[in-house]
A and B are shown apart, each in its own frame.
Chain A
Amino acid sequence: MTNRLTIAHVFPALLGTYGDAGNVSVLRYRAEVRGIRVSIVDVLPGDPVPATADLYVIGGGEDAQEMRATELLRADSGLSMAVHRGAPVLAVCAGMQILGEWFTDGSDSRVAGLGLLDLRTDRRSVRAVGDVIADTTGVLDLPTLIGFENHRGATSLGADARPLARVLHGIGNGAAEPVEGALQGSVIGTYLHGPVLALNPALADYLLTQVVGDLAPMDDVRAEEFRANRFQRARA
């Protein structure tokens, strides 16, 4: 087990509209409680993405910001190098779409993504907005995922990407299969906000474990109350 961790927060200024910066706050908090020293690199638009960080977090954003982030990432090799050496990545919503093969923009033309996830995203006619409950059994075998989706993507997975979870409530990827997110090697994609790691501390610990090894248990009373409150609403 290592006691240091560097998190690259990729373009929070562009991809941070939906509170997804909270994923980085949660990772830092849960690592620090375990005595791990955390440094966070907020990658600004125009700055290079570091290739040597331990963990990468990318959030969701609006259409114009998503386009700009895609352009910048396509001109930068940092993230691809990190993925090829197996660094864990969490990509939420627009972040997941950007990491795919392509997505369609507001005028229905295809925009090439980074090709780090075997998925393609068309545009839904109706926006998917609301609570999502999803089951990771057989994939990561974590406690049931819960989060809030707010997107217009219809994301279909290719053979190299596995669904992160099976949708029990809500829309999720919104293509044919009722599945949520994607898992391919060390990259996790999801449509869930909340932030997803605040509502699903086991997923946060899964990511941390990839870098630092086994983690000591911690008091999760507040996170459990947050989850219970949200499950209650989603199931009402």
Chain B
Amino acid sequence: MTGRMIQRIAPDALAQLSAGRSTVLVSGTNGKSTTTAMIVAALGGAVATNTTGANMPGGVIEAYSRSRARVAVMEVDELYVPAIGASTLPEIFVALNLSRDQMDRMHEVGSVARRWSGYLDGSEVHVIANATDPNIVAAVGTRSATWVDPGWAWRQDSVVCPRCTEVLMWESARWSCVCGLRQPVADYTVEGDVVHTLHGGSLRLELSLPGAVNLGNAAFAIAVAQRRGVDSDLAARRISAIDDVEGRYGTIQVGGRTARTLLAKNPAGWASLLPMLADDDVLIVSINADEVDGLDTSWLWDVPFEELAGRTVGAHGVHRSDVALRLEVAGALPVVDADIHRLAGRLPQGPCVIAATYGSFETLRGRR
């Protein structure tokens, strides 16, 4: 039975199904699915989780209904944090980051942060949160929390203080405001591939997943594992073994060549992806803009595609013409094709990387 059907029969299904279990909720603009998978791995044993990225109430209900595990780790769409939090009474809430995404659905970063703040004010949940993200820190407020410095920060949505709107001051990578809101001292800090943990411990991570952003996600997972009494070395080994999350870091065959796939659906996601590209990588940007991706593609102009100037880049997806103009203005050389196989065949030699929005990604993986 699907989660929506269950919800129709029993409106309080989520509260009933989650009762008596220890629940960890994971939310944020970027890294929800990967961090959720890392937490599931780090905890070990039987865990109820929504592995298909179905992170609205229907998907969460369905995930609970399919497992009797005493522990649940669920990723939650940013807008549904209050509703799902109120029903599941989680033990831990992981607050990853908040930045511009799907502006036609989410509207504004500040309003999402205020919704979270309202939920947290009336909740007993323990929060494990990103100390470098002012919107997250403002949402958490004065309650005690476990703070994580994931080693990187997207600053374009944190220019002014989310509490008083004064311009934030950044000094040696730490932010503060004249109103008193400031970056909390982190309990977990990522430096290179080392995670400094509670009580002066440190762990060197050898992740199978690429990118600095995943070292940050791993730090959140280790923090959850330690909170739940799992040895941090064991948690780190389990996290390091993950080499794919729902195909997001997998490969597909296109036009007779093997292409790595990556999900990138907003400027912050892209900003963390572009530095992962090697000089000889051949990139295809695949953008759909249906309801799961948001209808407005203006955000493509907030992605620093200028870093690809002079390179030949494929443009694919329903909004390939949006991508092509953006790339051309950025100084890249777009090759446009509606057919991914033909497009791959028209691009230069080299390792192929396809970066796609969610809808486009699912189409390429043959799931939609």
A18 pairs with B296, CB closer than 8 A: yes
- From B104, B298, B334, name the one whose CB has the most chain A CB atoms within 10 angstroms: B298
Q: How many residues of A contact B (CB 8 A)?
A: 37
A130-B322 contact given A45-B167, A64-B160, A65-B160, CB 8 Å threshold = no
A46-B295 contact given A19-B300, A226-B324, CB 8 Å threshold = no
A16 pairs with B156, CB closer than 8 A: yes
A17-B301 contact given A198-B325, A222-B334, CB 8 Å threshold = no
Chain B residues with CB under 8 Å of A25's CB are 301, 329-330
Tell me the minimal C-beta distance from A16 to chain B in angstroms.
7
Docked Cα-Cα span, A193 to B299, in Å, equals 10
B301 pairs with A148, CB closer than 8 A: no
A139 contacts the other chain (Cβ, under 8 Å)?
A: no
Interface hits, B163-181 → A, CB 8 Å: 165-167
Chain A residues with CB under 8 Å of B111's CB are 62
A150 contacts the other chain (Cβ, under 8 Å)?
A: yes
Docked Cα-Cα span, A63 to B162, in Å, equals 11
Tell me the minimal C-beta distance from A96 to chain B in angstroms.
16
A17-B329 contact given A64-B165, A68-B165, A226-B324, CB 8 Å threshold = no
B329 pairs with A193, CB closer than 8 A: no
Chain A residues with CB under 8 Å of B297's CB are 19
Among candidates A16, A62, A127, A225, residue contacting B324 with C-beta atoms closer than 8 Å = A225
Docked Cα-Cα span, A228 to B324, in Å, equals 13
Interface hits, B234-265 → A, CB 8 Å: none
Please, what's the 1-or-0 string for A34-53, where 1 marks a CB less than 8 Å from any CB in chain B? Answer: 00000000000110000000
A222 pairs with B301, CB closer than 8 A: no
Quick one: closest A residue to B289, CB to CB?
A233
A148 pairs with B160, CB closer than 8 A: no
B302 pairs with A16, CB closer than 8 A: yes
Tell me the minimal C-beta distance from B135 to chain A in angstroms.
11
Docked Cα-Cα span, A148 to B322, in Å, equals 13
Interface hits, A208-236 → B, CB 8 Å: 222-223, 225-226, 228-230
A20-B107 contact given A46-B167, A65-B160, A222-B334, CB 8 Å threshold = no
Chain A residues with CB under 8 Å of B334's CB are 222
Among candidates A18, A29, A45, residue contacting B298 with C-beta atoms closer than 8 Å = A18
Tell me the minimal C-beta distance from A193 to chain B in angstroms.
5
A129 contacts the other chain (Cβ, under 8 Å)?
A: yes
Among candidates B103, B159, B300, residue contacting A13 with C-beta atoms closer than 8 Å = B159
A195 pairs with B298, CB closer than 8 A: yes
A226 pairs with B299, CB closer than 8 A: no
Chain A residues with CB under 8 Å of B109's CB are 17, 62
Docked Cα-Cα span, A176 to B182, in Å, equals 45
Please, what's the 1-or-0 string for B57-72, where 1 marks a CB less than 8 Å from any CB in chain A? Answer: 0000000000000000
Among candidates B159, B167, B321, residue contacting A222 with C-beta atoms closer than 8 Å = B321
Chain A residues with CB under 8 Å of B91's CB are none
A222 pairs with B325, CB closer than 8 A: yes
A17-B108 contact given A25-B330, A222-B328, CB 8 Å threshold = yes
- Can you offer 24 A-B residue contacts whose CB atoms are under 8 A? A14-B160, A16-B156, A16-B302, A19-B296, A20-B301, A21-B302, A22-B300, A62-B109, A62-B110, A64-B162, A65-B160, A130-B104, A131-B295, A150-B104, A193-B296, A194-B296, A198-B301, A222-B325, A222-B328, A225-B325, A225-B336, A226-B324, A226-B325, A229-B321
Given contact pairs A25-B301, A65-B165, A131-B295, enumerate 15 new A-B contacts (beta carbons under 8 Å). A17-B100, A18-B103, A20-B298, A26-B329, A45-B167, A64-B160, A65-B159, A65-B160, A130-B104, A148-B298, A150-B107, A194-B296, A222-B328, A228-B321, A229-B322
